[in-house]
Structures are given as C-alpha cells and as structure tokens.
Copies of this chain bind each other. A is one copy, B any other.
Amino acid sequence: MTTPLRLGIAGLGTVGTGLIKIVQTNGDLLARRAGRAVEIVAVCARSRTRNRGVDISGYAWEDDPVALARRPDIDVVVELMGGENGPAKALTEAAIAAGKHVVSANKALLAIHGQALAEAAEAQGVSLRYEAAVAGGIPVIKSLAEGLAGNRITRIKGVMNGTCNYILTRMEDAGLPYDTVFEEANQLGYLEADPTLDVGGIDAAHKLTLLSAIAFGVRPDFDAIALEGIQRISIEDIRAAADLGLRIKLLGVAQMTGRGLEQSMTPCLVPADSPLGQLKGGTNMIVIEGDAVDQIILRGPGAGEGPTASAVIGDVIDIARGFHMPVFGQPAATLDVAVSAKAMGSKPWYLRMGLMDKPGALAKVAEALGNAGVSINRMRQYGHQDTRAPVLIITHKTTRDAIDHAVDLSMKTGVVVGEPVALAIEED
C-alpha cells in the first residue's frame, strides 16, 4: 500500500489542532511506521478564521460535517466535535454509510449509540476506532481489545476523569472545600461547558461503558452504570478518609459476578498508598485484571492536546496499516445484553452523617443499621460546635443494596441532619 491515507477532520478544537501538529511535524515518522503517507485533505469546524496556531490553508474547507464525511477524496473521517447527538452523530453515520473508516474521540456518542454505530460499521466493513475516547493518551482500548484479548477479564477499575481527580487531590492538598476548588477548576478551564459531565461522573461513566463492552463482551449500556458524582464530597470526608489511611477517588468499577455485570462510577475510598491512591491531579489510571495476566496498570495523561491527539493518530496508523477488527473486539451482533447487577459485591462501606445533638440519637442510627443487616466495624463521633454531631461509620463488608436500605432506615429515625454520604471502600 503506497497510496497515502487521506484524512478529513471534523472539529478543530484542542485535539484537532494537536492532530494537525502531529501530522505536520512527524510526517516522515508516520509514513515510515504506517507504511504509507498520512495526509490531511479536508477539515471542518465552526470557525474557519480562528487562529489555532497551525496552518490549515493547505486543506479543503467544509462548512457542513456531513459533506466532509461524504467527500470521495477521504479515506478516514476523524470526529473531534463531541456531543452524543447532533452533528457528531450525523457525521459519523454519514461517514460509515459512505464507506469511510471513522476515528472518534467522542465517548458520549459511543456510549449512547455505540451498538447501532458498531453494527453499521461492521455491515459496511469499515473500522470505527476510539482510543482517544477513553483516558486520553493511555492506549487502554488497544491494551484491552488486543493485547489482553486472550484473557477472560475479571475486573476493570480506574480513575477516568482528570478534572474530578484534580478537584479531589486539590481539596486534600490545600485543605479547601469543594466549592472553592470547583471554582478554581472552572477558572483554570478544566471543566466542560456543562460541568455536570465532569463532576457528576457522566464523562467517566461514558468511558467505563466502552471499556466494559470490550472487556465483558456486552452491548455498551450507559444506563446500566450506577452513577454518583463528587459534588457531595466534603472536606470532612477527605480528612476522615486520610485519618483512615484512605483517599477518595471517583472510581469506575466493572466486574462480572455470578449475578451479572456490576458497573459503577462513584466516589470510593482506596488505600492512600496504593497506585490509585497515589494518583494526583489530572492523571488517569486504569487497572485491568484478567484470568491469565493477573493485573496490569496503565497510567498517563487523561486529556490535553498532545495526549489525546496521540491516541487519535495511533488509531489512524492502525487503519493505515490495514488493521481491522470489530468495534468492541468481537462482532457487535454477538455482544450480550448486559444483565446488570444493581447490588455491588460485598465491600466495607464508609458512612458519614450528621446527627441531632440529643441523647439516644447514635443508638437509633446504630439500630437502623442493624435492622438493615449492616454490621458496624468502627464508629467515631467527632467533636462539634453546632447542633449537628458528625458521625463516621465504617461497616463490615456488605452490599450497596444493604447500605441504601440502612441509609433509608437511618433517615426515618428523624435524628439525621442533612443527607448521609455513603462511599464504598475498594481495598484491593
């Protein structure tokens, strides 16, 4: 194959700009490694004239993404617009229908419409690759779908949203409350236009949806993930965790159990001295466990111009080399519908609640937990100055269902002030 591979790029934000820089800077290297030249033929974005620090004058311009997708002089459409519907979806569908390979960084689109897009791509015999959609520069899709393809994957866990990890580590390091650090992150431009995508765990859950589909051979199903953001994590939680030798992470966990596939993206406590516990700032980490490989840990930048563009160009080179495989590692038609297990496996839990400062309050809560079948390992009541007594409980191993029940019963005692915080402790 000595003909160039011709790209059309839709979306010229940070990642699109990074991709153009790589193609312009490392062109010789790409050609040597891909076995053929990689050329950008056409681009499409909201503004043609915005200064991006790269010269796009040599590329054809399209105002309409769908028109870009249909250009006969393009082999691969690179979708860097984002959004689970609208132009990104139209472009991707049009590209596949036109027989183009697609490289996408769009986790939302794939988590929601992945099954239909995979079926369409496989019917057309084109590749749909999305390394950049998960964990930025870390080659985690490749590791999972290819390198570890001989393994029955038993568990995936990881930190997949750098913004949340930045906020949580900054709260601990600076001793600042959530709201202050959230505002800092906003000022620094770390947050999505809709910050709930980040702090609500949605972005990270999109990513986990894709990893789960590959790992467990199930249809991508975003709604099957138990989802909770970091908005209710207080500096008290951070400090209490530290006292226990733990750290709070927005942790994605997916594991196959006898009762089905359990998937969650929730704030969890991990040992402070574990690789996950030591992860600071915007870095991502994915832990993959399989029956043969035991455990692999991948760590790297979860976002940013260079790292995300690195993942995109990796996919492009795969296509240039003629690598072709099903979108989720096995034919989309063979993916199972995930039976989702709502109750997580049995784990210790951290519960923090505020109690009314009156006799018998603690006893009532302890009784409520007992009635829910939740047994207490450790309990601590902190000194306090207002009428709310902060109480911290570490349970013995129990399920999410039991904890939810225990929280319900506790609320019904009438002695709990505000909403309790319940966090699973992921010890291993």
Binding site for B on A (CB under 8 A): 18, 22, 25-26, 29-30, 32-35, 131, 137-139, 142-143, 146-152, 217, 275, 278, 290-301, 304, 306-307, 309-314, 316-318, 321-326, 329-331, 334
Contact = CB atoms under 8 A, between A and B. Distances in A.
Contact of A152 (B29, B290, B291): B29
B330 A325 contact: no
Nearest to A147: B139
A310 B297 contact: no
Contacts of A292: 18, 22, 137, 306-307, 309-310, 313
A428 to B, nearest CB: 15
Nearest to A307: B293
B150 A146 contact: no
Contacts of A25: 152, 291
Contacts of A310: 148, 150-151, 290, 292-293
A105 B115 CA distance: 36
Nearest to A330: B32
Nearest to A21: B292
A150 B299 CA distance: 18
Given A291-B26, A298-B297, A301-B294, A314 B275 contact: no
24 contacts: A18-B292, A25-B152, A30-B150, A137-B296, A139-B142, A142-B146, A146-B323, A147-B311, A147-B314, A148-B310, A149-B317, A150-B309, A290-B310, A292-B309, A292-B313, A293-B307, A293-B310, A294-B300, A294-B307, A295-B300, A296-B298, A297-B299, A321-B323, A323-B325
Given A149-B33, A149-B317, A306 B330 contact: no
Copy total for this chain: 2
A29 B256 CA distance: 15
A314 B150 contact: yes
Given A148-B139, A294-B137, A325 B334 contact: no
Nearest to A214: B33
B26 A317 contact: no
Given A291-B26, A292-B137, A32 B297 contact: no
Given A26-B152, A142-B146, A313-B149, A299 B296 contact: yes
Contacts of A275: 275, 278, 299
Contacts of A143: 139, 142-143, 147
A294 B302 CA distance: 11
